[in-house]
Amino acid sequence: MVAGRVDFFFSPVLTALPLVQSGHLLALAVSSSKRASALPDVPTTVEAGFPNSDYDFWIGFFLPAKTPREIVERLYQEITKAKESPDVKAKLTALGGEPMDMTPAQYDDYVRQSVEMNRALAKAAGIKLE
């Protein structure tokens, strides 16, 4: 994009924001289900006239499947505490990150739903899944 070799690209806000803020890229829309707080004047793809086009880019923490639940809960508590600190909040805001508050069980469900949605997208696009 910056080199002028492609005209259009989907990128998470976290990686595109510095280039948008510097004027190197123009944000046309965000694919999230709601407007990005870091780009409040940029419409969502649905608002821009593309129904059913919302897609949330997200980042999360993963542990081995057999991790004891008390360790999962402790890590959840520590992450929750960290993301509530003023320094972490400020850094996330500056990067354009927006925490999605979920319990470990809600996160498990969210990941399962995301995998299934992406599997369906791949299948609809004719991408072979092995």
* Domain map (residue ranges) of the chain: 1-57
pTM of the model: 0.77
Q: What does the pLDDT average to over 14-42?
A: 92
Name which of 18-27, 61-70, 92-101 the model is least confident about. 92-101
Q: What does the pLDDT average to over 67-82?
A: 96
pLDDT of 74 reads 97
Average pLDDT, the chain: 91
Give Cβ neighbours of residue 107 (< 8 Å, ≥ 6 apart): 60
Q: Look at 101 and 2; give whichever has higher pLDDT.
A: 101
Q: Look at 121 and 76; give whichever has higher pLDDT.
A: 76
Structure tokens at 28: 């046309």
Q: What is the CATH number of domain 1-57?
A: 3.40.190.10
pLDDT of 47 reads 97
Q: In 3D, which of 28, 3, 25 has the Cα closest to residue 16?
A: 25
Q: Which amino acid is at 36?
A: A
Q: How confident is the model at residue 57 (pLDDT cuts 50, 70, 90)?
A: confident
Alpha-carbon distance of 129 to 109, in angstroms, equals: 22
